[in-house]
Structure 1
Amino acid sequence: MDFTLLDLIAFIGFILFVVAVSLYVSRDEKDSEDYFLAGRSLSWWVIGISLVASNISTEHFVGMAGQGFREDIGMAVASFEWIGALALVIVALYLLPRFLQSGIYTIPQYLEYRYDRKTRTLLSIFMLVFYVMITIATVLYAGAFALKEIFDTSLITGIWLIGLTGGLYTVYGGLKAVVWSDVIQGAALLIGGAFITYLGMKELGGLHQFIELSDGRLHTVLPLDHPTLPWLAVFFGGMWIPNLFYFGLNQFITQRTLGAKNIAEGQKGVLFGASIKLIIPIIIIFPGIIAYELYGDEIANGDAAYPVLITHLLPAGLTGAFFAALFGATMSTLDSLLNSAATIFVIDIYKPFINPDGSQKQIVRTGRIVTFILMILACLWAPVVNQFEGGLYLFLQLYWGFIQPGVVAVFLMGFLWKKVPSGAAFWGMLLNIPIYGALLFFIPNIAFLHHMAITFVLIMIFMTIFTRLRPQQHPSEIPIFNQSDHKNSRLVKNWSIAILIATICLYIIFF
């Protein structure tokens, strides 16, 4: 697709604006709290938009829309968003107050307070490896794939273009640069996605025609024996495990909530993000379904559904604007991942083991160096994602299952049972890998969400037996950094109830 002069101006102007704002807002950083947690100064609306912008990227526009294109899944993939919104309610009400009150920089840090340093370090290593090998690589590949489909660039060129652009301002600016770039790019993402949905509906003949033609793909509740998203796993089983991990125990997402001004601002920010997630399927999955109805005969790979829709529907002059929004969607997730991975390395590995007496200047400098190194490693690894045949979104969800059930079990048991010892937590997380891998290998014909649920239950049983045999004698002392009252306000409670009711209504509408 050829760029007009207006396209080129829109694209370059948007990217320069994002970079300039990111560098400007982070110009006064003085210490590690400024660099890694934005000085704990973030307001609720910034947290909410940044959370969504970091979560939603081209692996959604490519991968989730691709699942919508598929006849056997369609709208059912929306459950990852809607169950995710309910998981965010749990995060706001129960998890976030604990984390903010303890004053942690990273999620693994909490495990040292509850268990020991060995358990904290294990989770830190897990997160670093999976961020680089799975999530960052998928984000880079998905962005490059979209650019290739729309603008005929090579995959390698796209990967390095996205990686260098998003990585370099993250190296300089830290979390403050990340969240403000997310605000700009998140708004562009939502507006651009809504516009594509509108154009697709118009081309198809309106909402009534869309519903009539796509009825078979508009059901969110799939049969019990469905190979990917059976209703039992969605509502009562494995679907909850990746969502609770992703939105509550995942440094990549929770870092902006840890930078909140106070507990109330953090809670409102999480609920604001949950509210936005309820509408995400309309601007991502609907276009995948529309692409099938309009251009299904020319789309061999479902992951190409959204890019094909863009190439057919965008009027002249708007290509550059949407290119910038798509490019920004990838950068908003990439910058968050890089910053979070660097935070984990510096706070959980470098400072405790390599340089315990390091100055604030040394810590920040190390964070910048690590961010750059991780960016290079991810760009080199990203092309490998192309070898997975199940689609990008499934790749992302499937392979995180090697650690998610164990991490959720360790935190849940640690919250609920004071006698759980560090050995139960450490070995519980390690057991996740062989248990989940064995289930995938020996029982391949059931949904991977069932694999997650079975793994979770087995780890819970193991931790219970371990605790009965070797209970912790003295309860762990969790430090209290924030002394403010963290009882949930009436606004937070009412907002949470509203999200629950809205989610139920969406499931009824798309039953």
Structure 2
Amino acid sequence: MNIIEILLFVTAVASVISFGIWQGRSTASDGSGAASGYFLAGRHLTWYLVGFSLIAANISTEQFVGMSGKAADWLGMAIASYEWFAAITLVFVAFVFLPKFLKTGIYTVPEFLEYRYDPFSRQVMALATLVILVGVPTASVIFSGAKVISGYYPDVPLLGNLTASCWLIALLAAGYVFVGGLKACAWTDLIWGASLIVGGGIVAWLAFDALGSAEPTMLAKTATLKNIDINQLEQAGAWQRFQMLNAGTAAEGGKLHMVRPINDPEIPWSALIVGLWIPNFFYWGFNQYIVQRTLGSKSLAEGQKGIVFAAFLKLLIPFVVVIPGILAFNLYSEQLASATGNYDYDGAFPTLLRNLIKPYPWISWFVLAAIFGAIVSSLASMLNSASTIATMDLVRKYAPGIPEEKLPAWGRAFVVIFVIIGALIAPSLSAPEFGGIFTFIQEFQGFISPGVIAIFLFGLLVPRAPRFLGWSGIVLNACLYGLIKWWLGDIVVHAGLWFSDEISFLDRMAICCFLVLVYCALMTIVRPLPAPVELPVNADMDMTHSPSVKIAGIAVVLLTVLLYVLFW
């Protein structure tokens, strides 16, 4: 371990976290209520805090490890659809969902269901969200962060041990959010979000430089598989080598196209039509640990500016996450192979770090600090949001007599409980049956995401939809998703009634969402409400729209379309 690297890394991380805690503790002195101050930063977040906080909360090691791993595996650029679809989704959220959420003055997404449907719907979504949030993304961020640390320092005591690294990350993040709440997360996200993009860009640049200077014999294995002339490879530059090594159709192992065959087990082209929109709309529109940043906006205009700014940044992410994953396979495929001949694709990004930045301590400290900060920031954001749901949707609901100033204490207690659960689950995610960390996150959220989207669409767009749809739609989706995943899907495939060897989880989400929407439509026809539901109004929120944001939103959509044209 280089002492300069360690000192700079520790100083950077400690300084940023200290700054965030200082900002978080200042909330109490600015006139904010105790609950609003701790859980929503006093509703004082400006657009740049909202934008960078969305990116930092979203982009962490589950992207750098999981998404890079999928890019190194067979998916290549196709995995970037999660990012570029998100840009369009965010624009939609800014102009359709955010105005309705801010106008009601809610603390949590499940709280909206009580106003639109009934209290039981709120409880069902709160419990389902907690189970998924703590058991899936929280545990996944801990695991993927530990994967990077243990992969970078494999021979260092404690740090080289996956389980020990899991507990180290969990404890640091818990202590951080325990003190500062959402405001601490938002201010550190401002720094980590910008640093993460710069750090990822540095890794991508170093990877291209390594590809351009690599001996053709080093690339011989990949070149042979592609039937590439070694002499042509020797004369090509970095970008030309990248195109040569990854060219071809998906069936030929090409990694530079967005569209996969219809029988692809993860992202068939059919998923681009419906399936992929479901996790995107759920994640960016109804996922508490993301939405909580927008609920803390000081006004509608600031929130919309922040969301559209985050949408633009999402267009950049594949260039610092997905492409480096492909480069990792081109450069170090033998290092990703295990003794059994299998590939550890989740090790793609840690392998890049170990080979490319470790020799340069004056660069490595910054990249490591940015990645570590993203780990802590994302985990802190998840813990803060989970504690918000547990406190505001469960504790305050069943014990309404608790004074507001006591609610943050409950939130802090839940932070401790949830981080322990996440840290206990995290080490087990290295098991091969999970199919990669990114797939694990996306697939298991399917137990709630299609149903949540269906009931929110009806709740927002159909004023007379009956109140029982809130909880029944979520329960119906969970049953349908499990039924198709573990039983009915195999029967359909074996009967020859499906177009591939298995029903991908994205297609499974699309089927469930469609069936729940049909259920909601039928129930609305049979038992419509006698009068439209009246939602509460937060009179203190400035609901003025910003005309310039609409232009920026249109520009983001057009840029997304252009990227798909280039990489189709």
Do they superpose with TM above 0.5? yes
Of 444-453 and 50-59, more deviation after overlay is shown by 444-453
Going from structure 1 to structure 2, the CA distance change for 1:275 and 1:94 (only over 3 Å counts) comes to same
Of 454-463 and 387-396, more deviation after overlay is shown by 387-396
- The one-letter code sitting in structure 2 at the alignment partner of 1:432 is N
User: Which residue of structure 2 aligns with residue 45 of structure 1?
Assistant: 48
Map 1:265-280 → 2, pairs under 5 A: 265-280=302-317
Question: Is the 1:204–1:294 Cα contact (8 Å) retained in structure 2?
Answer: yes
Aligned length: 506
Of 207-216 and 9-18, more deviation after overlay is shown by 207-216
CA–CA distance in 1 between the matches of 2:93 and 2:448? 19
- The one-letter code sitting in structure 2 at the alignment partner of 1:18 is V
User: Which residue of structure 2 aligns with residue 380 of structure 1?
Assistant: 424
CA–CA distance in 2 between the matches of 1:483 and 1:364? 22
Going from structure 1 to structure 2, the CA distance change for 1:485 and 1:362 (only over 3 Å counts) comes to closer
User: Which residue of structure 1 aligns with residue 458 of structure 2?
Assistant: 413
The yes-or-no answer on 1:443 pairing with 2:480 is no
Map 1:160-171 → 2, pairs under 5 A: 160-171=167-178
For residues 464-501 of structure 1, what are the alpha-carbon distances to aligned partners after superposition, in whole Å with 9 as ceiling and x for unaligned?
22222222223211011147674643212111110111
Question: Is the 1:100–1:482 Cα contact (8 Å) retained in structure 2?
Answer: no
CA–CA distance in 1 between the matches of 2:264 and 2:163? 36
Q: Percent identity?
A: 40
Map 1:209-358 → 2, pairs under 5 A: 209-215=241-247, 216-234=254-272, 236-299=273-336, 300-314=343-357, 315-317=359-361, 318-353=363-398, 355-358=399-402
Question: Is the 2:5–2:364 Cα contact (8 Å) retained in structure 1?
Answer: yes
CA–CA distance in 2 between the matches of 1:316 and 1:495? 39
User: Which residue of structure 1 aligns with residue 496 of structure 2?
Assistant: none
- The one-letter code sitting in structure 2 at the alignment partner of 1:242 is P
Of 472-481 and 314-323, more deviation after overlay is shown by 314-323
Question: Is the 2:299–2:543 Cα contact (8 Å) retained in structure 1?
Answer: no
Which of these residues, 3, 6, 9, is aligned with residue 8 of structure 1?
6
Look up the SS of the partner of 1:26 in the other structure: helix
Which of these residues, 451, 466, 469, is aligned with residue 523 of structure 2?
466
Going from structure 1 to structure 2, the CA distance change for 1:250 and 1:57 (only over 3 Å counts) comes to same
Going from structure 1 to structure 2, the CA distance change for 1:482 and 1:269 (only over 3 Å counts) comes to farther
Question: Is the 1:44–1:266 Cα contact (8 Å) retained in structure 2?
Answer: yes
User: Which residue of structure 1 aligns with residue 547 of structure 2?
Assistant: 490
- The one-letter code sitting in structure 2 at the alignment partner of 1:44 is W
- The one-letter code sitting in structure 1 at the alignment partner of 2:27 is E
CA–CA distance in 2 between the matches of 1:487 and 1:179? 23
The structure whose Rg is larger is 2
- The one-letter code sitting in structure 2 at the alignment partner of 1:492 is V
User: Which residue of structure 2 aligns with residue 100 of structure 1?
Assistant: 102
Which of these residues, 513, 518, 532, is aligned with residue 456 of structure 1?
513
Look up the SS of the partner of 1:278 in the other structure: helix
Which of these residues, 56, 59, 68, is aligned with residue 56 of structure 1?
59
CA–CA distance in 1 between the matches of 2:545 and 2:89? 16
Question: Is the 2:447–2:481 Cα contact (8 Å) retained in structure 1?
Answer: yes
Quote the offset at 1:28 in angstroms. 2.7
Unaligned runs of 5+ in 1: none
- The one-letter code sitting in structure 1 at the alignment partner of 2:257 is H
The yes-or-no answer on 1:175 pairing with 2:218 is no
Of 242-251 and 378-387, more deviation after overlay is shown by 378-387
Of 261-270 and 299-308, more deviation after overlay is shown by 299-308
- The one-letter code sitting in structure 1 at the alignment partner of 2:58 is N
Quote the offset at 1:209 in angstroms. 2.4
CA–CA distance in 2 between the matches of 1:420 and 1:251? 24
- The one-letter code sitting in structure 1 at the alignment partner of 2:393 is D
Which of these residues, 387, 396, 404, is aligned with residue 360 of structure 1?
404
Cα-Cα RMSD: 1.4
CA–CA distance in 1 between the matches of 2:524 and 2:138? 36
Unaligned runs of 5+ in 2: 29-33, 155-159, 213-237, 248-253, 337-342, 491-501
User: Which residue of structure 2 aligns with residue 22 of structure 1?
Assistant: 20
- The one-letter code sitting in structure 2 at the alignment partner of 1:305 is A
Of 445-454 and 203-212, more deviation after overlay is shown by 203-212
User: Which residue of structure 2 aligns with residue 184 of structure 1?
Assistant: 191
Question: Is the 2:117–2:469 Cα contact (8 Å) retained in structure 1?
Answer: no
CA–CA distance in 1 between the matches of 2:246 and 2:209? 15
For residues 241-292 of structure 1, what are the alpha-carbon distances to aligned partners after superposition, in whole Å with 9 as ceiling and x for unaligned?
1100100111110111100010000000000001000010000011111011
- The one-letter code sitting in structure 2 at the alignment partner of 1:310 is L
For residues 303-359 of structure 1, what are the alpha-carbon distances to aligned partners after superposition, in whole Å with 9 as ceiling and x for unaligned?
111111111111331333332222111111101000000111111110010x21211
Look up the SS of the partner of 1:279 in the other structure: helix
User: Which residue of structure 2 aligns with residue 135 of structure 1?
Assistant: 137
Question: Is the 2:81–2:258 Cα contact (8 Å) retained in structure 1?
Answer: yes
Quote the offset at 1:448 in angstroms. 1.1
Question: Is the 1:186–1:332 Cα contact (8 Å) retained in structure 2?
Answer: no
Look up the SS of the partner of 2:27 in the other structure: coil
Question: Is the 1:122–1:426 Cα contact (8 Å) retained in structure 2?
Answer: yes
Question: Is the 2:301–2:544 Cα contact (8 Å) retained in structure 1?
Answer: no
- The one-letter code sitting in structure 1 at the alignment partner of 2:265 is P
Quote the offset at 1:390 in angstroms. 0.9
CA–CA distance in 2 between the matches of 1:75 and 1:482? 46
Question: Is the 2:259–2:268 Cα contact (8 Å) retained in structure 1?
Answer: yes
TM-score normalised to structure 2 length:
0.87
Quote the offset at 1:397 in angstroms. 0.4
CA–CA distance in 2 between the matches of 1:384 and 1:313? 29
